Structure 1
Amino acid sequence: MSKSLLELTPVETVACCAPLTREPMAAAQAERVAPLLKALADPVRLRLLSLVASHEGGEACVCDLNEAFDLSQPTISHHLKVLHQSGLLERSKRGVWVYYKVEANVLDSLGKLISSAGA
């Protein structure tokens, strides 16, 4: 997936979409939502998102996430970067550490999109 496609996935495009069971999704909407779902389709990234979301305060330092995996720190950072670029995580740097927080509105919108509620 190209970086430019990931950058074209603003939060608003997910929030605009009705549940998939209510009406067919337009091709343009599908193009904007697919990178979010693709980012979540990797088991490591899905676990990372869950670890960040469930961490105390809903925010986790990259140093807190490394020990949960048998992967190198650069590999973990790569997966976090993909989640960030897709719009699922926000990040902030504090000193030498980077902290991640789930973009709750994006996750909520994705949940509503794939929900059968309102069908």
Structure 2
Amino acid sequence: MRSGCCAGWMSAARPATLETFIEHDGQIAEAAKQLYIQRNTAAYRLEKISELLGIDFKKVNDLLRLKLAFLFRHRIEGTVHVAKRASTGEPAGARGSGELRSAARMGLGR
């Protein structure tokens, strides 16, 4: 791992790189475009993430587990945001309504 000023930046970039890679179905070039970085930079980051987590991005099972983890995280965060809006009395707009529907589908309402 790099040391100095870049080490903190690299650790901050890991989650975004991994999530973008997963969202683009394991396509490094597409993830790099989305992140506005070079393909080699994305490949380097993913190599380091792979070593850190002990996963192989070429294995469908590993990709599926990561995709599910991000999906669950987004669902849980959506439920938390809905609860915060309800407690503050903030009206739920279109985004809030979608979050409520998602929470209801998962059986997480009320």
- TM norm structure 1: 0.37
Q: Which has the higher strand share?
A: 1
RCO higher in structure (CA 8 A, sep ≥6) = 1
- TM norm structure 2: 0.40
Q: Which has the higher helix share?
A: 2
